[in-house]
Amino acid sequence: MAERYYVVREDLLPDGILKTEQAKDLLRRGEAATVHEAAERVGLSRSAFYKYKDGVYLLEQANRERIATLSMDLEHRSGVLSAVLSMLARSQGNVLTISQSIPLQGMANVVVTLDTSGYSGPLNELVEQLRSLEGVKRAIVVGRS
Are 53 and 97 in the same domain?
A: no
* CATH at 83: 3.30.70.260
Per residue in 122-142, pLDDT (tens digit) is 888 899 999 999 999 999 998
- CA–CA separation, 27 vs 22, rounded Å? 9
Q: Decide if 2 is inside a domain.
A: no
Kindly state whether residues 140 and 88 are assigned to the same domain.
yes
pTM: 0.57
Domain end residue (candidates: 46, 63, 80): 63
Residues 54 and 87 reside in one and the same domain: no
One-character DSSP codes across 30-87? TS-SSHHHHHHHHT--HHHHHHHTTT---HHHHHH--EEEEEEEEESSTTHHHHHHHH
pLDDT digits (tens, 9 = 90+) for 80-121: 999 999 999 999 889 999 999 999 999 999 999 998 888 877
Q: What are phi and psi of 39, to 5 degrees?
A: -65, -40
Q: Which amino acid is at 7?
A: V
Same domain flag for 100 and 46: no
Residue-number span of the structural domain to which 19 is assigned: 10-63
